[in-house]
Every structure is written in structure tokens, then in C-alpha cells.
A and B are shown apart, each in its own frame.
Chain A
Amino acid sequence: MSLQKFIDQAISPWMQSEGPDADIVLSSRIRLARNLTDFAFPVNASKDQREKAFHYIKERLEKEAYHSMGQFEWINMDGLEPIEKEVLVEKHLISPNLIQYSNHAAVLINENESVSIMVNEEDHLRIQCLFPGFQLNEALTLSNGIDDWLEEKFNYAFHETRGYLTSCPTNVGTGLRASVMVHLPALMLTQRMNRIAPAINQFGLVVRGIYGEGSEALGNVFQISNQMTLGKSEEDIVEDLRGVVMQLIQQEKAARRDLLDMSKIQLEDRIYRSYGVLAYSRIIHSKEAATCLSDVRLGIDLGLIKGVSRSILNELMVLTQPGFLQHYFKEALSPDERDIKRATLIRERLNLEDFQKPTD
């Protein structure tokens, strides 16, 4: 398969369009946790109960369509190869938990992969809506619509004072987790993130790094999400997160301006070196790749690198993860082999671009 074709299949269609504030906010996500009153929650349920709930849900959803969105594809976890499952996790379409519980578990995915509904994860139903850029309200509206549609088919576990009842006490009430994925290279380079992250926590929000085989904030990509789900309305939870992210965008923009004003030559040096590493290296670890991709993406956002598409960061962050690498090269790879294949894939991907050499 050609790389372009592979990318078209590997990158969710919703990711290929740009949303508002795309220079900093990569994506916005809303997740709603819902349970049925007719069955025990999946985590503690017996095998028999899990199976009953699974078939009950399948019967009512398998061939259903939500408005103009077209039919959802029902994917049984039992029927997938381990690598296929990993790829779904790397595309953020399912959680690692769904693999763990893959007995009588499934996911429904719409055509452009912006909506996924996990079945029999920790809760009976987990609705997720993903939007490119900064579109939390849009994601909430869509999630609410899908939620209403599901409620027509299922008797929700709902309590007057506790709200939507979830398996874990940390999700009860709204069952809502709102999050944005942000790229903050300038706040990291200027070391301002150290002060900002604790300040964000003061608003009841969680900041965490995502991506990577290990554990760090690879590629300066962070996820910011609400911690509490009970006692605030859905709109307020989203509005509070939105407010903080708007300030974060301003801070990142200011830091980018400061870098250009005060250390342009150092910044250019860093960005072009990183481009060189990505374009010519033969062995690259995921951490180094992420750092260089973040630099190059910053270079594109600041107009220092021309002819390379912005989506390269999001795309290659996804494609160079272990599951995708093995999926693309169609073989199991050891960590050392992955580093070689990762470098190959990045070089091939950059070859599809029309990088314009700087004139000076």
C-alpha cells in the first residue's frame, strides 16, 4: 500500500479538516458515561450478565443511524487482532480499558470517526465526540443529541439527586469529561508551563501529557480536562474549561512572539535542525521524533518553514506509535526495529511534502 493511501485510512477523516485555533488546539473532545438500569454495570457483572447486556444493546443499535450521520459501524472487540485493537486506541477511538474488557465489548464508529460509542467498557455506554480545533460547544451539542437518541432506546440509570449513575464514583452526575488537546511548544521552551500548570489545577482541571511509549508529555502536547462531574451543569463544566483554554492560547501566543522577538536565530536553528533530523535520520526514538515534530510544527505555525502541511504533527504523532508502525509495515517489531522503521516512515512522509529551502 502506498503511504498516502495508508495515511488516508489511518488518519480519521475528522482530523483532516482544521478547526478554529488550530495553531494551538489540536482537538476537542466530549465524553458521556451512561448506564442501563436493566443490567448490572459491566465491571462487576458476571459473564452471563455482560453477555445479556451486550446482546440487548447490540439488537437496538447495530443497524441504527443517527440523523444524517449515516449508519454506525458495529465492531466486536472479540473479532479483532491485537494490532487492530491497538490502532483503535492510538486513534483515540477506544480506551485501553475496552481491550482489557474485550469479552463481549464493542464499539460503534460513524463514518468520519468523529463519534464513537463504546459498549460494555467500564460503563454500558460511553459516547465520545471528537472535533478538530477548539470546538467544545459543538462537541457538547452533538454529544447531547446522541445521548437523547440513545435514551429513546434504553432505560438510563438515573437518580434524582445523584444524576447519571456510573460505575466509578468519579464520573457520577453529568458523566461528562470534556477535554482539549493543546500544542504548547513556546510555553515549554520559555519554561512558563511550570507556573501555568499548577494554576490550571486551581480551576479543578487536570493537565497531563499524552502520547508516547513511556510517560512524558511527548511533543509538547497536553490534554486538559475537567476533574469533577457532580454539582455543575454540563454547560458550566465546558464553559469553565473553555475559559481556561482561551487564556492558555493567549499565553502560548505571547510566548511565541517573545521567542521571535528575543531569540529568533536560536529558534530558527532549533527548528531547522529538527527538520534535518526528521528528513535524514535512519534511527529515531519516539521521544526524539516527538520533540522534532513539535519544533517543525512550531516552525510551520510561525511561517519559518514553508511548504509543509500543518497536519504533519498530529498525523505523525499518531502514525509513529508502535501499533501503527507494525500495522503499516505488517510485521511485529521489537523496540529497536521500531526506531528504524519510524525514521523510514517519517522520511517517506516528508517526501510527500513540498519543503521550500530557506533562502538565506
Chain B
Amino acid sequence: MECQECHLRPATLHFTKIVNGDKMEYHLCDQCAKEKGDVMAGSGSFSIHHLLSGLLNFEQHVGENHHHNHSVLKCPKCGLTYPEFVEIGKFGCDECYKAFHDKLDPVFRKVHSGNTMHTGKIPKRAGKNMNMKRKVSTLKETLQKLIEDEEFEKAAEIRDEIRALENGRNDE
């Protein structure tokens, strides 16, 4: 199969991309792929730059009518701004994911065939904390409800349970 761009070299890169809901097939030689700067999973040399720039431009366009929410998002930990993220196509640190959270779903949907949620492995240590946090927040909800219902005896038990969990975390 020949490259759909230059029609000279054989296509060595084949992939599909969802563009505005349509599935597009690409068959490119390495050279044209590089020149296009297109998504080339599995290699470090690709950039998702174009994809991200497209998304940002779209947002700026929409933003023209909504001047009031036009403040620039910035990561408090590493200082990367959202426009900078779009420019480089890379996050600066783990906090960037939280700082840009509201804008990331469409980005991930495009890159990962519509997915935005991790369903794979959970690390033992980082995940243990995660499970504990989840438990504490459920218990706090229960506690709130018990207090509203004036079930103070049960509420005290739950409160102790929350304390024990939170102290457990501090001990680590």
C-alpha cells in the first residue's frame, strides 16, 4: 500500500482517528507522518499538538461570547498554563490533571476511543489510600445523615471509625 500523502513511499503507519465522530483511516509513510506531526502511538516522536490546538481554537472561538469565564487555567504545582499544555501537548506534573480537569474529557475521548476513565490496575500503596479516602467520604455521608436523624449514639460510633481510619493514614 502506498502512502496517501506523497504516493511515493510505501505506507508504514496505519491508524484510525475519530474526527468529529467520523472514523478516518490514515496510511502514511514515516516521513509524511513526521511532517504532518500526526498521532503516532508507540513512538516518542509524535505530537498530539495539532489535535490539542484544534480543541483550544474551538474553545477560544466559543469563549468570544463568554468573556466572563475567560481566565487562564494554571497548574498551582508546576505553573503550566492550559494554553502552554496545548502548545506542547504534555502535562507538567500530576497536579495538571486536576487543574485542567474540566477540559480534559474531550481530549481523552479523542485520543482513547471515547474513554475518559481508568479501569485497569490500581497501585497497592497509592490505591490503598484511594480506597481509604473513598471509605471515609462514604462514612462522612452516613454520619451527616445520622446526625440529621438525631441518631447520636450510632453517629459517635461512625465518628470514631472515621478517626481511626484517618489516624491510620497519618501513621503511614
Contacts and interface: CB of A to CB of B under 8 A. Distances in A.
Interface of A: 35, 37, 39-41, 43-45, 95-97, 121-122, 144, 147-148, 151-152, 155-170, 172-174, 176-177, 179, 193-194, 197-198, 200-202, 204, 206-209, 214-217, 223, 225-234, 237
A356 to B, nearest CB: 34
Contacts of B127: 158
Which of A156, A167, A173, A234 is most buried by chain B, counting CB atoms within 10 A of its CB? A173
A95 B134 CA distance: 38
Given A168-B48, A202-B16, A35 B94 contact: yes
A215 B11 CA distance: 9
B1 A194 contact: yes
29 contacts: A40-B92, A43-B90, A45-B92, A158-B130, A160-B134, A162-B117, A164-B121, A165-B91, A167-B90, A168-B90, A169-B89, A169-B91, A170-B41, A170-B46, A172-B118, A179-B42, A194-B1, A197-B14, A201-B25, A206-B14, A208-B42, A209-B12, A215-B29, A217-B12, A225-B42, A226-B41, A227-B41, A231-B117, A232-B115
B42 A156 contact: no
A147 B89 CA distance: 26
Interface stretch (B65-73, B106-114, B145-153): B106-114
Interface string B124-137: 11110010001000
Contacts of A225: 41-42
A95 B127 CA distance: 30
Given A202-B16, A215-B30, A167 B112 contact: no
B123 interface: yes
Interface residues of B, number: 58
Contact of B116 (A170, A202, A231, A237): A231
Nearest to A229: B112
B120 A176 contact: yes
A41 B93 contact: yes
A173 B120 contact: yes
Contacts, number: 199
A231 B113 contact: yes
Contact of A197 (B1, B43, B46, B114): B1
Contact of B13 (A173, A193, A208): A208
Contact of B48 (A121, A163, A170, A193): A170
Contacts of A231: 112-119
A318 B13 CA distance: 21
Contacts of A226: 41
A155 B31 CA distance: 39
B48 to A, nearest CB: 6
A161 B117 CA distance: 5
The 4 closest A-B pairs by CB, nearest first: A231-B115, A163-B118, A215-B30, A157-B94
B26 to A, nearest CB: 9
B56 interface: no
B119 A233 contact: yes
Contact of A232 (B25, B119, B124): B119
Contacts of B121: 144, 147, 163-164, 174, 233-234
